[in-house]
């Protein structure tokens, strides 16, 4: 008899984690969702709680966790600048102590382990687009450093456990992703612009809006997670996962206003410190090794995300 795969998702009640849990349940896995609800919520996984293969555990992964699982997706970490800068020492701690605990767990139970790393490991990049071979341009004592350096150290830990203990690791470098279940008040650009435009309030563009980002719709990203996890053991990453379509922040503002038909005007505010000027993934590796590339265009993804926030605003 084939027993269902037991999968632990840390940060499973967050934006990406909740979509991943749903996707794993659809693939007949047993899912243990571990979250301390720092930025995530029960609401994000409410629709999964009736599924007998789903379990939700409130736990902070900076403390040890003793469970039996076959696979671990380590997503726990606040992801937006407002949240990760709110308690920067905690941000470093979850990235470093949290990763050590999850790696220790993976080692004890021989589980395969996936790390949600980030394009922020490239910092304010001098090479464009960014391939995995680029070592990055990261400030180590700035306001974003707790996140960037925390994630870099987590990658180091993953590769040290791989070399020292032969762990099966999968490290994904995730680029900006958006979709339903984004936290409405975490200050990320897509959620901010959509909420502002739906309420016909000024759209807050930081700087002159010429900085670029590449936005991936959440369903495409989660497909990439699953393919990376299921890839042969020698595929460890780090591997970029993101949508190479690159837009200026001003272009994004104009798209959101036009799709919603909003009367919002653009308001230019100061650019935050260390804000990267450009970001776009080179996804050659993901294409070649996983046969993966995003399918959902920005306009399509924005429509789905707008519908989510519209519903959220009208029910609150």
CB-closest chain residue to ligand UDP = 104
- Annotated active-site residue 122? The verdict is no
| DSSP string across 61-92 | TTS------SEEEE--S--SHHHHHHSHHHHH
- Spatial neighbors of 99 by CB under 8 A, at least 6 apart, are 74, 115, 153, 154, 157, 158
The tokens describing 50, both together, are 């009736």
Binding partner selected for residue 76 from ligand UDP, ligand NAD, none, CB under the kind-specific 5 to 8 Å limit: ligand NAD
- Which of 24, 45, 169, 174 is close enough to bind ligand NAD by CB under 6 A? 174
Element (H, E) at 9: strand 6-10
Q: Which of residues 101-120 bind ligand UDP (CB under 6 A)?
A: 101, 104-105, 107-108
Does residue 283 bind ligand NAD (CB under 6 A)?
no
| CB 240, CB 225: distance < 8 Å | no
CA dist 200 and 168 (Å) reads 49
Binding partner selected for residue 183 from ligand NAD, ligand UDP, none, CB under the kind-specific 5 to 8 Å limit: ligand NAD
Mark the segment that binds ligand UDP (CB under 6 A) among 35-43, 130-138, 270-278, 295-303. Answer: 270-278
73 bridge partner residues: 9, 114
For residue 256, give the 3-state DSSP assignment. helix
Does residue 212 bind ligand NAD (CB under 6 A)?
no
- Which of 51, 55, 62, 248 is close enough to bind ligand NAD by CB under 6 A? 62
Cα distances (Å, whole numbers) of residue 298 to 54, 91, 244? 31, 30, 11
Mark the segment that binds ligand UDP (CB under 6 A) among 19-27, 62-70, 85-93, 284-292. Answer: 62-70
Q: Which is nearer to ligand NAD, 38 or 161 (CB)?
A: 38
For residue 212, give the 3-state DSSP assignment. strand
281 bridge partner residues: 130
Query: Catalytic residue among 147, 161, 178, 217, which?
Result: 147
Return residues touching ligand UDP (CB under 6 A).
64-66, 80-81, 100-101, 104-105, 107-108, 176, 187-189, 192, 204-206, 211, 213, 249, 271-272, 275
Where along the sequence are the contacts to ligand NAD (CB under 6 A)?
10-11, 13-17, 34-40, 60-62, 75-79, 94, 98, 116, 118, 174, 176-177, 183
Give catalytic residue positions. 147
């Amino acid at each position: 008899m084939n027993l269902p795969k037991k999968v632990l998702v840390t940060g499973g009640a967050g934006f990406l984690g909740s979509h991943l849990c749903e996707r794993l349940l659809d693939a007949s896995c047993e899912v243990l969702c571990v979250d301390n609800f720092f930025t995530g919520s029960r609401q994000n996984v409410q629709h999964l709680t009736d599924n007998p293969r789903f379990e939700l555990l409130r736990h902070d992964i900076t403390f040890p966790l003793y469970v039996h699982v076959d696979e671990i997706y380590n997503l726990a970490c606040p992801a937006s600048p407002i949240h990760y800068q709110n308690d920067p020492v905690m941000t470093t701690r979850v990235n470093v102590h949290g990763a050590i605990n999850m790696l220790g767990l993976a080692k004890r139970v021989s589980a395969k382990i996936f790390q949600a790393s980030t394009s922020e490991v490239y910092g304010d990049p001098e090479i464009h687009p960014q391939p995995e071979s680029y070592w990055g341009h990261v400030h180590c004592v700035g306001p974003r450093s707790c996140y960037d350096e925390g994630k870099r150290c987590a990658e180091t830990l993953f590769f040290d456990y791989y070399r020292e203990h032969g762990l099966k690791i999968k490290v994904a470098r995730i680029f900006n992703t958006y979709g339903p279940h984004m936290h409405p008040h975490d200050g990320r650009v897509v959620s901010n612009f959509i909420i502002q435009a739906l309420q016909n309030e000024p759209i807050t563009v930081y700087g002159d809006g010429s900085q670029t980002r590449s936005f991936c719709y959440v369903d495409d990203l989660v497909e990439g997670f699953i393919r990376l996890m299921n890839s042969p053991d020698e595929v460890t990453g780090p591997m970029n996962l993101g949508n190479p379509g690159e837009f200026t922040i001003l272009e994004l503002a104009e798209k959101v206003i036009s799709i919603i038909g909003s009367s919002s005007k653009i308001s230019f505010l100061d650019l935050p410190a260390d804000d990267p000027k450009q970001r776009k993934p080179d996804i050659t590796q993901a294409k070649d090794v996983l046969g993966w590339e995003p399918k959902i265009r920005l306009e399509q993804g924005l429509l789905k995300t707008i519908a989510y926030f519209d519903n959220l605003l009208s029910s609150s």
